[in-house]
Structure 1
Amino acid sequence: MSQYIAMNRFLVSHENEEAFQKRWLEREVLLKTVPGFISFQFLQGPEKDGVRLYASHTVWESYDAFVGWTQSEQFRQAHAGAGQGRVLTAGPPVFEGFTVLQDVSA
């Protein structure tokens, strides 16, 4: 069974970066309580044309473990406030899912 990586990409204008980071960094993280969860990274990417790329990156033991997360009570709790409050992104997040074909570690 192959690991699965789930990513959401966000474009954030300069004036919303601080609030966007704060929203992510101060949230309650429920991922550690979900079977099959391996790791999470919140990533800051390059800036281009007044917007910066951010991504959330989770690694799961399998695609089925990721689907289990999306159907869990923890997922519902984590996303309960989504769409409420000030919009901080330039458009909706873009989801990308990947099956790991090779993993080389140090």
Structure 2
Amino acid sequence: MYFAMNRFKVKKGSEEAFEKVWRERDSSLAEMRGFRTFHLLRGPENEEEGCTLFVSHTEWENRDDFVAWTKSENFRAAHSNAGGNRPLYSGHPQFEGFEVVEGASRT
């Protein structure tokens, strides 16, 4: 299993606009081999930096499936307007990828 996350520092007052971008995006993740889940997480506010932390979180069967997504036409289409949203951010998104070493779930 592989988890891919992007951290976004969203400028104070831009949170609703940022969330709207994600709600209204044309996502084709469900069509991709190995895709399991997606979540957009809203984290704490950082008063000193004047921003709110958000994380996009996807779960994949494995790293290769995630990499295939990043090289796909679906990925390019999903991110084609990303540059227009830069005024909402403080800095660039930060990517983090993790392979599962050990896990447990409630069944």
- Same fold by TM (over 0.5)? yes
Change (3 A) 1:104 1:73: same
Paired-residue identity, %: 51
Report the secondary structure of 1:15's partner residue. Answer: coil
After TM superposition, give the deviation of residue 93 of structure 1 in Å. Answer: 0.1
Residue 6 (structure 2) aligned to one of 8, 29, 33: 8
How many residues are treated as equivalent by the alignment?
A: 104
Q: Secondary structure at the match of 2:95?
A: strand
Deviation at 1:86, TM superposition (A): 5.6
CA distance in 2, matches of 1:8, 1:35: 20
Structure 2, unaligned runs of 5 or more: none
1:28 shift after superposition:
1.4
In structure 2, C-alpha distance between the alignment counterparts of 1:70 and 1:7, rounded to whole Å: 13
TM-score, normalised to structure 2, is 0.92
Distance 1:52 1:62 in 2: 30
- 2:31 match: 33
Q: Determine the structure 2 residue equivalent to 1:100.
A: 100
Q: Tell me which residue corresponds to 1:53.
A: 53
SS at match of 2:41: strand
**Mind listing any 5+ residue stretches in structure 1 that lack a counterpart?**
none
Superposition CA RMSD, Å: 1.1
Q: Which amino acid is the alignment partner of residue 31 of structure 2?
A: T
Partners of 1:42 and 1:85 in 2: how far apart?
16
Distance in 2 separating the partners of 1:66 and 1:93: 18
1: CA distance between counterparts of 2:85 and 2:66? 27
Deviation for aligned residue 1:84: 2.3
**Shift of residue 29, structure 1, vs aligned partner:** 1.6
Pairwise CA distance, 1:79: 0.8
